Amino acid sequence: MRCLETVLLILLGPVSMLLAGELKVDSDFSGGSAKVIEVDQQKRLIRIEPEANPKRGWECWWYFQVTGIEPGETITLDVGTAPWATPTQAAFSTDNIIWQQTSAGKRNRKRIVYQQQVDETTCWFAWGPPFRVEDAQRLVSDSAKNGPHVEAIELCQTRAGRTVPALRIHAEGVSDELRKGIWIQARQHAWESGSSWVCQGLVQWLLSDDPRASALRQKSLITIVPVMDIDNVAIGAGGKNQTPQDHNRDWSEQPHWNSVKVAQQQILKQDQDGTFDLFVDLHNPDAGAKWPYYYTTTTDYLSEEGNRNLDHFLATSQLEITGPLAFKGERRESGASYDKNWTKISKNWVTKNTADHVVAVTLETAWNTPHSTQTGYMTVGRQLGMAIERYFRTMP
């Protein structure tokens, strides 16, 4: 009898593998990106690289669907070859809505291998939790149902003819000329999906019943753009260093990208009306960053009032952005030694072209940590909202 059991065990191994579905990889959908190098059906291994998009910036973003999974089996992903395409933990989802982190991958030079047990027949894998064009549209349209104080707007049409959705929040409270003008934008670099989740967390807090959110709404005109580089997000391209320049090097007298051009026009109009006060550009930083930090313009580029207000804003941020992704006070300057085109970076352009009291910063939220998840990012967004409220409430 024992011999028969042994024979059956030997036979059932290959049979069980034959019963598993054929693994198929698909990235032909909104935001998808994957160049399939190999699918090893026996080893249940998928080897991919980010899809090349010539002149569309860094080849770093990847996002694809896998079907044919035997529920409960372990799928192996071998991903490369760009260093920027190798988070310690990738993202996976069995419904393309709620994203979790994989177990830590094992690095081999420019490649990394992840192994993840999947309990459904279909799974999506990505560099980080995707925030697609559809997600931006949903965030804007759903938020606009909150009440008459929230307006869904089209910032512009892109060069490819896509809509850039945005929100304008202006509750009844003070007269328009006394409102604080706030501009929040995310995703000037398309691959930095976490910045859009930070934006979503901020929006959800702003429209909540929190008394502090209500107070900020009543005294402000807030414009929010969840995705600036809609075209590259739509096709799954990286966007950073694209041709002729990425969105965050396009803030000049003659910008190439329509979203930058219209953002400049609207910011300048508010500034001329005396109702512009704060600009925050949301990004994700280098792979080594473990905590959020701010990029600011150089101290000598700011007026005395501007430096004082900036210090106050950073102090309120440290009080409110407390974690798990906490802002610990780190500030980096982006001047001439940082980039030869430093004056064409958004926050520096805003600083130069608006009133002395305006604060303009870039918030970099770390993406390569165990807390770099939808929940972690949205918590940063909520806490950023509280920092902004405290900043205006406690102005010296």
- Predicted pLDDT of residue 310: 98
Q: Looking at domain 2-126, does it have CATH number 1.20.140.10? A: no
CATH number listed for the domain at residues 133-393: 3.40.630.10
Is 78 strand, coil or helix? strand
Write phi, then psi, for 367 (nearest 5 degrees). Answer: -110, -15
- Predicted pLDDT of residue 333: 96
Q: Which of 156, 233, 169 is nearest to 202 (CA)?
A: 169
- Predicted pLDDT of residue 270: 97
Tokens of 326: 């906490």
Q: Which of 57, 11, 27, 24 is nearest to 249 (CA)?
A: 57
Does 2-126 match 133-393 in CATH topology? no
For the chain, residues with pLDDT lower than 70 are 1-20
3-state secondary structure 119-172: CCCEEEEECCCCCCHHHHHHHHHHHHCCCCCEEEEEEEECCCCCEEEEEEECCC
Kindly list the distances between the CA atom of residue 166 and the CA atoms of 30, 154, 156, 263, 314, in Å, as whole numbers in the listed order: 19, 6, 9, 11, 26
pLDDT tens digits, one per residue of 153-167? 999 999 999 999 999
- Predicted pLDDT of residue 344: 98
pLDDT tens digits, one per residue of 29-61? 999 999 999 999 999 999 999 999 999 999 999
pLDDT tens digits, one per residue of 280-323? 999 999 999 999 999 999 999 999 999 999 999 999 999 999 99
Tokens of 102: 């994989």
CB 232 within 8 A of CB 201: no
Domain boundaries along the sequence of the chain: 2-126, 133-393
- Predicted pLDDT of residue 250: 98
